[in-house]
Structure formats: C-alpha cells, structure tokens
Amino acid sequence: MPRPITLFTGQWADLPFEEVARLAGEWGYDGLEIACWGDHLDPNRAATDDDYVAGRLAILEKNNLRVFAISNHLKGQAVCDDPIDQRHRDILPDSVWGDGEPEGVRRRAAEELKNTARAAARLGAKTVTGFTGSSIWKYVAMFPPASQELVDAGYRDFADRWNPILDVFGEVGVRFALEPHPSEIAYDYWTTKRTLEAIDYRPEFGLNWDPSHMVWQDIDPVGFLWDFKDHILNVHCKDTKKRLNGRNGRLGSHLAWADPRRGWDFISTGHGDVPWESAFRMLSAIGYTGPLSVEWEDARMDRLVGAPEALAFVRSLAFDPPAAAFDAAFSAR
C-alpha cells in the first residue's frame, strides 16, 4: 500500500483550519500533519473536549483526509531552551509565556506537551512531531570554551525534563518524534546518537527525518536513515538549496531567507539538493510505512503553487517496492 502523503500545516496556520483542509483535499493529499498553533489544533482543549475532537475529525472527513501525526514544535522548543527570551515570546501563546519567568515558561511548555500526547491519542494519531529545545545549543561555536561537564549537564537536563513528558506518551500509546535540527538537543549524527543514549533509547521517543536540515550541514541524509532505521517515526519532505560560493557560509550571515547572499535556503520539495529518489528507496529498504509529510518552506515560491507541485513530485518518486525480486523470473520453470 502506498505511504500516505500529508501536508504539514505549520506554515499555513495564518489560514483557518477548515480552509487548509479544503485546499489539501482538493489537491489530493491523503491527510494533514496538524500543527498545534493558529486555530488548527488546541492540544489542551483536544485532551479533554470530546466535541472539539469530533469537530476536527469531521473537517478532515469532509475533505477526504486523515490525521497520522500532529505537531507541537513551538511549545516543545521552550521545554529545554536556555535562554528564554524575546524569540520565545514571539512564538508562544500567553498561556505558556505567562509572566515570562524562564523556568515557569519551561514548566508550562512541558505540561502542554503532555496534553499534546493525550490530544493525539484522542484524534487517533500515533505520533507527535516537534522540537525539544536545548540548554547547550548556545555553546555550539565552542568559544568561550565549553567544558565537557557543561555539555554533559545539557544532556542530563534534556533527560530530566523529557522523561516525565515521555511517561505520559507511554501511558496513552503515542510516540514523540524529534526533528534533528540546529538549536535542538540533536542536530546532526553524533548529537542524535547522544540524545537517544541520554534517555536509554526509550520506545516512546524517535525521530522525524527532515533532510533539509542535514544537507546544508553536509550530513548524508540517506545514510542517516539507515543508521537510525529503528527510530524513524515520521518524514518531512522539505528541500534545501546550497550556494556556497566562497563568500557566503553555512551559518547564514544573519541574512534574511532568499537573500541571494545567503549560503543556502530552504526551498520547495524537489527544487533543491536533497537526493529524493535515493531517500525514498532507503525508506523502503528500512521498512518505513508511515506518512510522507510535505513541509512547504520557500521564500521565492507561492505556497499555493509549491504545495500541489510538491505532492505530485513526492508521489512520482515514492513508489512501492516490487512484490517479487526482479531476478526471480530467471528460475521460473
């Protein structure tokens, strides 16, 4: 059976949920990965309100869509981040921000992640995608020097904050899929390995594979799939285009998206440097049968063009493996 292709609604949260569902259904998507911001999904309400959950499911059904995963990237970011500052004020609701006292923000964000697990279970979704934040991302430049003790403390902080959240995920039968990403506790191969070790490879915790964040770091996204094949819970189809010409670099130079002086940009699926066919073949090889979620991010392409085009691109390459080996016929009698 073909893997379902869904649309991640995070970059569409300025539109009403009903409108995004209508568009996705008309384009032919199989479902939505619903973001917990805008009016798309209130996880605190969905955790307890039967009528609210029924209403969201009715909107999906009306548009021939299903939900396989929901996302709470924004609140997850605040669970471990240090510092908590104006960047978080810009992305968090008042219910999480409160008075802005950092530890209070982290605590309220953690409680919402617990409710996000409960909401996912009530919607019939098995996965919550998102970020964890990190108390040690600020040390990534390694100057002033960060001791090994400081780094180790960051992984302990992650485990201490996320293990109680993951206990709730385990109780309701839902898994959390961290998207390895700069500014998270896991952002490349080795930090992903260290993150999984920090929580003793808990089954409630896995990975949301998004190759766009690996390409500009020169990490092999296909090899990453193989190495972490037992932990891939969700897939984001998003692309990156590199323009490293000797002047511009990987860190972006504090330039806005799509500025031609940047060293790379996120770009609509199929227009960048991600080796998509190899990636889809590897997903088949590792037995991944979950959703392929199109995440539209392209500062030079209208999303009403990019989203349906990306759907067609992914569908053209995400073919199923054959039912029998091609050389099986050689021994037919």
Please check whether residue 204 is in contact with residue 176, taking contact to mean a CB–CB distance below 8 angstroms.
Answer: yes
Mean pLDDT of 52-66: 98
Encode pLDDT of 77-124 as tens digits. Answer: 999 999 999 999 999 999 999 999 999 999 999 999 999 999 999 999
CA torsion 222-227-228-230 (nearest 10°) is 110
pLDDT-based confidence at residue 319 (cuts at 50, 70, 90): confident
Angle at 254 (CA atoms; ends 130, 270), nearest 5 degrees: 55
- Name the nearest CA neighbour of 221 among 163, 172, 279, 137: 279
pLDDT-based confidence at residue 333 (cuts at 50, 70, 90): low
Encode pLDDT of 40-54 as tens digits. Answer: 999 999 999 999 999
**Token pair for 104:** 């209070």
pLDDT of residue 175: 98
Provide the residue range defining the domain that includes 17.
5-331
CATH code of the domain containing 86:
3.20.20.150
pLDDT of residue 214: 98
Report the C-alpha gap between 96 and 75 in whole angstroms: 8
Residues in contact with 131: Cβ distance below 8 Å, sequence separation at least 6, in sequence order = 73, 74, 76, 77, 178, 179, 181, 183, 184
pLDDT-based confidence at residue 155 (cuts at 50, 70, 90): very high
Encode pLDDT of 112-136 as tens digits. Answer: 999 999 999 999 999 999 999 999 9
Q: Phi and psi at residue 118, in whole multiples of 5°?
A: -65, -40
Number of structural domains (the chain) is 1
pLDDT at 68 over 80: yes
Q: What is the pTM of this model?
A: 0.96
Place of tokens 């490349």: 188
Please check whether residue 242 is in contact with residue 212, taking contact to mean a CB–CB distance below 8 angstroms.
Answer: no
> Taking the CA atoms of the chain, what radius of gyration do you get in angstroms?
20
pLDDT-based confidence at residue 215 (cuts at 50, 70, 90): very high
Task: State percent of the chain over pLDDT 70.
Answer: 97
β-strands 175-178, 205-209 pairing? parallel
